Amino acid sequence: MLNGNELYINRELSQLEFFDRVLQQAADTAVPLLERLRALCTVSSNLDEFYEIRVAGLREQCLLQSPVVGPDGLSPQELYTRLNLRVRELVDQQYRLFNDVLIPAMAEQQICFLRRPSWNPVQAEWIRDFFFAELMPVLTPIGLDPAHPFPRVLNKSLNFAVELEGRDAFGRNSGNAIVQAPRALPRVIALPSDISGCQHGFVFLSSILHAHVGELFSGMTVRGCYQFRVTRNSELFVDEEEVKNLREALQGELPHRHLGDAVRLEVADNCTPAMTAFLQEQFGLSASEVFAVNGPVNLVRLLQVPDQVDRPELKYKPFRPAVPKALQEHADIFHAIRDNDILLHHPFQSFAPVVDFVRQAAQDPDVVAIRQTVYRAGHDSVLLSALIAAARNGKEVTVVVELLARFDEEANIGWAAQLEEVGAHVIYGVVGFKAHAKMVLVLRREGGKLRRYVHLGTGNYHSQTTRTYTDFGLLTCNESLTQDVAQVFSQLTGLGQTNSMTHIWQSPFTLKKALLAAIRCEAEHAMAGRKGRIIAKMNALLEPDLIQALYEASRDGVRIDLIIRGACALRPGVAGLSSNIEVRSIMGRFLEHSRIFYFHADGAEKVMLSSGEWMERSLSRRIEICFPILDTKLKQRVIAEGLTPYLSDPRDAWQMTPDGKYERRSPHDGQAAQDILLAALT
């Protein structure tokens, strides 16, 4: 039996276990080869954001000698040490996989990365010509001397530290120089097949620079050239209670994101100890914060390779998302929704009906008003373009734009400005609370009365993620449910006390209380000899009170299955504590993003979909909605498509052990849940 701090697994350490599961996809020979390369690059992307936000915050706590400890009992200093050690293991494993497995496997498929020692004279000449024509004109070598101090190195940019010998035209001899690679330059360059000698031949930008860096320092001798990359604290600080205009304040902060405090330095493993120490000193980092890697320091940019290689057999098989029959039969989407609620399961079913919903509303003369929340929409959003058209058509358009959506601030600021230009009402949420709910409300005049139509979802209104994330969306005109949605919008745009709602559980007001009550209710059923059953699917489970409630329900006899994609602080399978709880993570073709909460409810089967996780921030510092599936058939669909296949997935499921590690169930036996859904729904 565990006590106190041992009841919880640390969030950051659990998140690193998720990154490890992503890395295992890159090692899985059953995954198409170029998709394995994507998975490998995704690990680097995940680690970048992890250091920019989570590790950066932890590092600040360490520097301030913060005494605060989390539910797991680890001090910031203890956690920081453990994180860097675990990341080092992951990175070493990642580069071994890249060099020893993926590069040879791709070479067998005529996808070759040409290294400098292997260039033949024809290849060397082509690369030299490319350097002089395409690279040298845009490179700015910076010799380090009193007049040229160490340059400002942008976050995650590719740079080269050069060791020189000799004197330049002015008689200077600093010994060191920096060459920065502009972001516009590709990190891998495709060679013509007749030059490369294979169907798809690539050379790393770093290899070209290493070969020809001497051309940038005429008359001097290059003693060494080493690539490096620094990751910086990218958290934006805006005092929402002090600023008068949040958008202007954010616009002022965004340029500084690339120049925050350094938190990690990546260098090539051939970098000399002296140069490593020099760079370490420039960025104010300790030895534990330096990572020497055997290969390109910017693996994220290799994501462009699968897009440049036209080999469908080495990628996931393409599919066409289906459109529900009800929408195929009715060109008028409002007619279809009046007949029955419509459930959409992305990406197996198309996101196009959601776009059509807003587009038709924008053009429909009977539509009076449209309201929508925007958390992540991307730079190219057909939905927001439709809202702009609606405002131009004289509709009353209100958009709640969350400006503090991390790493989407710039895109959201741009959309906010465009919407305001056409007369839409743009609201920036509520001070101190991120608006994370996913809602569209359309107000339409029918037969002399106003009728509400809504779309509610578990995922963002983002065209790219709707093709790669699993999410559910609901189109409905149910009077009481749409009234609840109207109340949420009123809270976001106006002032006033909260009113009780019929169906929706909303944070920061009722969501946590309702979840705790639903968990306790299942425990009461179990203690009374009836069936107690909970199934919850989400991206992260971290909130201590909910974890404690699940522990208590498990002890009371409730069977609990948790499908948690990422971090999970709960320890499953501990005798006397969580022996009735199983936690699994699904790692497949699509990123599992749906939030589904199932409670047996003494046979009534309550099924809720949510925009948020069981995390403290989602329950107390964000505006989230959790809404029921009221239609019996649709409720059974959510269970049959969103839960049941994942509980018996024999291929993509990873079982969590009490120590926070994960074991793959049976990686090559049977059909994965996502494959079953692709076959059934598309």
Catalytic annotation, residues? 436
Interatomic CA distance for residues 456 and 475, integer angstroms: 7
Interatomic CA distance for residues 475 and 325, integer angstroms: 14
Burial class (CB in 10 A: 0-12, 13-18, 19+), 136: middle
* E strand or H helix at 451: strand 449-457
Provide long-range contacts, Cβ within 8 A and 24+ apart, for 104-111: 105/33, 106/33, 106/37, 107/198, 109/33, 109/311, 109/314, 110/198, 110/199, 110/200, 111/34, 111/198, 111/199, 111/200, 111/202, 111/305, 111/309, 111/311, 111/314
Residue 480 has which token pair? 């009481």
User: Are the CB atoms for 57 and 309 separated by under 8 Å?
Assistant: no
Judged by DSSP in three states, 623 sits in strand
User: Are the CB atoms for 484 and 504 separated by under 8 Å?
Assistant: yes
Count of helices and strands (H, E) across the chain: 23, 27
Query: Whose CA is closest to 57, among 281, 228, 236, 230?
Result: 236
Q: 10 Å Cβ neighbour count for 509?
A: 15
DSSP 503-516: S-EEETTTHHHHHH
CA dist 387 → 64, 374, 399, 570 (Å): 46, 11, 9, 42
- The residue written with tokens 């522990």 in the block is 551
Interatomic CA distance for residues 465 and 378, integer angstroms: 10
User: Are the CB atoms for 552 and 527 separated by under 8 Å?
Assistant: no
Residue 537 has which token pair? 């699917």
Q: How remote is the C-alpha of 347 from its chain's centroid? A: 16
Task: Tell me the Cα Rg of the chain.
Answer: 27
Contacts of 528 (CB under 8 A, 6+ apart): none
Provide long-range contacts, Cβ within 8 A and 24+ apart, for 599-602: 599/518, 599/519, 599/521, 599/522, 599/533, 599/534, 600/522, 600/525, 600/531, 600/532, 600/533, 600/534, 601/518, 601/521, 601/522, 602/525, 602/530, 602/531
Cα separation of the two ends of the chain: 47
